[in-house]
C-alpha cells in the first residue's frame, strides 16, 4: 500500500513539474535578464572611476620614470663637473685650452681629472671651446697648435645655419696677447683684395653684435636691408651710415638644403682673438645667423667690414678706453648703407680700458 502511495505522489509531482515548467523557465529567464541589467548599470557607474584610476596609475609611473632620469642626469652632471675641475682651474688661471689639456695629459694634474680630460677633451672641437681654424661643415679645427689661441671660422661655399660665440674673454686675461701683426681682437666680414687673393664678402641673413666690450668698434663697407644701432655707450662716437634703396639692399636668408652645415656654438672660451671671415679667394662666406654676444675684450679693436646682410643689429655695447669724447671710438662709416635704419639711444660717456681678468 505504501508503494502505491509513493508512486502516486511521484506521479503527481511529475505532473505538477510538467505543468509549471514554462512558468519556472520564464522566471529564471527574467531573473537572468535582471542580473544582466544590474551588472550593466554597475559597470557603467564604475567605469569612469576605473578609467581614472588607470590614468593615475600610468601617470604616476611616467612621472616616477622621469624623476628617476632627472636625478640620474644631475648625478652624472655633478660627477663630470668634479672630474674636469683641474681643466677648469687651469683655464681660470689664464692658460689656453690647448695648454690646459697638455698639462693634464702630461700628468701635472692628479686624480681622475687626467683620465676624463684625456678622453673627453682629446678631440678638439668648436663646442669644447678649443681654439683653431674651423672650416664648415667640420666641427673640428683644420689647423691647431699650442701656440695658436685664435678662434677662427673661415666660411666658404658651404653655408652655415647659425654661428654663436657668447660669454667669452678675448685678449683680456692674464698672459693673453694678440698674434703678431694683428690689431683687432674681433673681426667679422670678408677680406679685401691682396696679392694672389680676390676680394670676398661675408653674406648673412642676420648678424647680432650685442652687449660686447670693445676698445674701439668700427663698421665699414656694409650693405644691409635693416640696420639697428640701439643703446650703445661709447667714449666718443661718429655714426654716419647712408640710406640706400631696397632694390640694392635686399632682405636675405641663407639656405643650403641637406648640404647646409650644422650650427657652430661656443660659450665661455678664452681666446686672444675671434675671427669670422671669408678666407677663400673669390668665394664669399655664407651664414644665416651670426651671434656675437657678451664678449669681454681689451687691447685691440672690434671691426665689422665687407658684410652683406639682411639685418644687422648693434645693440647695447660698451666702447672706449681713453675717457676722451673727442676721439671717436665708435665709428660707423659712410660706406655703411641700409634701406631701413633705427639709430637711437646711443650715448657718449667716459670709458676707460678694462683691467685684466
C-alpha radius of gyration, the chain, whole number: 38
What's the pLDDT score for residue 121?
43
Beginning with the edge strand found earlier in the chain, give each strand of the sheet holding 270-271 in spatial order: 270-271, 169-170, 296-297, 213-214, 318-319, 233-234, 347-348
| pLDDT: which is higher, 30 or 245 | 245
In whole angstroms, give the CA distance from residue 208 to residue 293. Answer: 8
Domain ranges of the chain: 1-83, 86-122, 127-348
Contact 96, 146 (CB under 8 A): yes
Assign 249 a pLDDT band (cuts: 50, 70, 90): very high
Percent of the chain exceeding pLDDT 70 equals 73
Residue 325 pLDDT > 90: no
Contact 215, 333 (CB under 8 A): no
What's the pLDDT score for residue 81?
60
Contact 353, 321 (CB under 8 A): yes
What nine digits make up the cell of 150?
A: 685664435
Question: Which residues, at least 6 apart from 314, have a Cβ–Cβ distance to it below 8 Å?
Answer: 209, 210, 217, 219, 228, 229, 230, 232
Task: Give 183-233 pLDDT, tens digit per residue.
Answer: 999 999 999 998 889 999 999 999 999 999 999 999 999 999 999 999 999
| Cα atoms in the 13 Å half-sphere on the side-chain side of 61 | 6
329 to each of 203, 239, 301, 320, how far by Cα in Å? 26, 11, 9, 5
| pLDDT: which is higher, 265 or 42 | 265
In whole angstroms, give the CA distance from residue 114 to residue 109. Answer: 6
According to DSSP H, which parts of the chain are helical?
2-83, 85-92, 97-106, 113-120
Mean pLDDT score of the chain, rounded to an integer? 81
In whole angstroms, give the CA distance from residue 139 to residue 263. Answer: 9
What's the pLDDT score for residue 269?
86
In whole angstroms, give the CA distance from residue 344 to residue 49. Answer: 63
In whole angstroms, give the CA distance from residue 200 to residue 13. Answer: 116
Question: Which residues, at least 6 apart from 67, have a Cβ–Cβ distance to it below 8 Å?
Answer: none
Question: Which residues, at least 6 apart from 230, have a Cβ–Cβ distance to it below 8 Å?
Answer: 313, 314, 315, 316, 342, 343, 344, 345, 346
Task: Give 291-317 pLDDT, tens digit per residue.
Answer: 999 999 988 999 999 999 999 999 999
| DSSP single-letter state for residue 147 | T
Assign 356 a pLDDT band (cuts: 50, 70, 90): confident
What's the pLDDT score for residue 301?
94
Amino acid at each position: 500500500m505504501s508503494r502505491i502511495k509513493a508512486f502516486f505522489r511521484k506521479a503527481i509531482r511529475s505532473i505538477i513539474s510538467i505543468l509549471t515548467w514554462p512558468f519556472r523557465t520564464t522566471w529564471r529567464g527574467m531573473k537572468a535578464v535582471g542580473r544582466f541589467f544590474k551588472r550593466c548599470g554597475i559597470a557603467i557607474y564604475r567605469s569612469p572611476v576605473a578609467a581614472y584610476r588607470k590614468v593615475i596609475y600610468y601617470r604616476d609611473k611616467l612621472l616616477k620614470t622621469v624623476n628617476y632620469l632627472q636625478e640620474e642626469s644631475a648625478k652624472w652632471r655633478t660627477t663630470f663637473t668634479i672630474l674636469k675641475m683641474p681643466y677648469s682651474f687651469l683655464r681660470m688661471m689664464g692658460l689656453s685650452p690647448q695648454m690646459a689639456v697638455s698639462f693634464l695629459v702630461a700628468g701635472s694634474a692628479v686624480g681622475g681629472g687626467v683620465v676624463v680630460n684625456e678622453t673627453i677633451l682629446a678631440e678638439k672641437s668648436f663646442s669644447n671651446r678649443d681654439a683653431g681654424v674651423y672650416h664648415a661643415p667640420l666641427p673640428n679645427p683644420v689647423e691647431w697648435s699650442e701656440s695658436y689661441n685664435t678662434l677662427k671660422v673661415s666660411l666658404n661655399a658651404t653655408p652655415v645655419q647659425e654661428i654663436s660665440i657668447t660669454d667669452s674673454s678675448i685678449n683680456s686675461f692674464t698672459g693673453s696677447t694678440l698674434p703678431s701683426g694683428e690689431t683687432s681682437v674681433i673681426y667679422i666680414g670678408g677680406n679685401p683684395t691682396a696679392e694672389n687673393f680676390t676680394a670676398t664678402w661675408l653674406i648673412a641673413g642676420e648678424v647680432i653684435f650685442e652687449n660686447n666690450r670693445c676698445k674701439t668698434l668700427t663698421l665699414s663697407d656694409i650693405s644691409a636691408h635693416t640696420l639697428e644701432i640701439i643703446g650703445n655707450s661709447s667714449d666718443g662716437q661718429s655714426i654716419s651710415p647712408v640710406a640706400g634703396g631696397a632694390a640694392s639692399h635686399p632682405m636675405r636668408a641663407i639656405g643650403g638644403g641637406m648640404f647646409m652645415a650644422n650650427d657652430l656654438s661656443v660659450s665661455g672660451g678664452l681666446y686672444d682673438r675671434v675671427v669670422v671671415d671669408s678666407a677663400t679667394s673669390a668665394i664669399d662666406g655664407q651664414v644665416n645667423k651670426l651671434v656675437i654676444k657678451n664678449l669681454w675684450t681689451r687691447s685691440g679693436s672690434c671691426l665689422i667690414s665687407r658684410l652683406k646682410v639682411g639685418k644687422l643689429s648693434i645693440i647695447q655695447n660698451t666702447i672706449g678706453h681713453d675717457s676722451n669724447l673727442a676721439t671717436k671710438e665708435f665709428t660707423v662709416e659712410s660706406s655703411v648703407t641700409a634701406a631701413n635704419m633705427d639709430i637711437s639711444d646711443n650715448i657718449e660717456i667716459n670709458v676707460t680700458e678694462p683691467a685684466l681678468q
